[in-house]
Amino acid sequence: MRLLMLAAMSLTILSAWSDHPNFTGNWKMDSDRSDFGQIPKPATLVRKIEHEDPNVRIVTTFSTPANVDMTTDVKHTTDGKESVNTIRGSEVKSSMAWDGNSLELTSKRNFNGTELVTRERWTLTNNGKVLTVVNNTNGAQGPLTFTVVMNKE
């Protein structure tokens, strides 16, 4: 009886984990559907995401309109624990957690003496083939919001 209860509990836990979508894939920005508002839209933006819950690794490569290429490589966990990554020489402290079927990523870093706080909401649609990232950043120049729509390659 005890073994049966343990097996039932294990299945319940496993099904709860599998209820969340998996963001793994190579994602390419859909320039026509993305909205960068006040800031210049990147010429290209590609994200490679490796997601084995709770671990998430994100390698982002983009080109500025002036054709300057940049790459970031960061790691997070989806359990809300703080992660520390270095992006272009700056320490970035972040936490990522589930909100329903979406992932919420909150990052803080110091930029020219001002704390920048960025909140990203990741959502999958179209049977997991479209990733929408809504980015809200607050810094010295006030709030900035933009949306990146990415298609799975």
The pLDDT tens digits for 9-18 are 444 444 444 5
Alpha-carbon gap, residue 36 to 147, rounded angstroms: 6
Q: What digits encode the pLDDT tens for the residues 123-137?
A: 999 999 999 999 999
Amino acid 67: pLDDT: 87
Amino acid 13: pLDDT: 44
Q: Which residues have C-beta within 8 Å of that of residue 150, sequence separation ≥ 6?
A: 27, 28, 29, 30, 45, 47, 130, 131, 132, 133
pLDDT classification of 88: cutoffs 50, 70, 90: confident
Amino acid 21: pLDDT: 96
Residue 113 has pLDDT above 90, yes or no: no
Task: Answer whether 80's CB lies under 8 Å from 97's CB.
Answer: yes
Amino acid 27: pLDDT: 98
Amino acid 18: pLDDT: 55
Of 2-6, 79-83, 126-130, which gets the smallest average pLDDT? 2-6
Bond preceding residue 54 cis, omega within 30 of 0: yes
Of 6-10, 42-46, 72-76, 131-135, which gets the smallest average pLDDT? 6-10
Question: At residue 18, what is the residue type?
Answer: S
Q: Which residue has the higher pLDDT, 6 or 151?
A: 151
Annotate the chain with three-state secondary structure: CHHHHHHHHHHHHHHHHHCCCCCCEEEEECCCCCECCCCCCCCEEEEEEEEECCEEEEEEEEECCCCCEEEEEEEEECEEEEEEEEECCEEEEEEEEEECCEEEEEEEEEECCEEEEEEEEEEEECCCCEEEEEEEEEECCEEEEEEEEEEEC
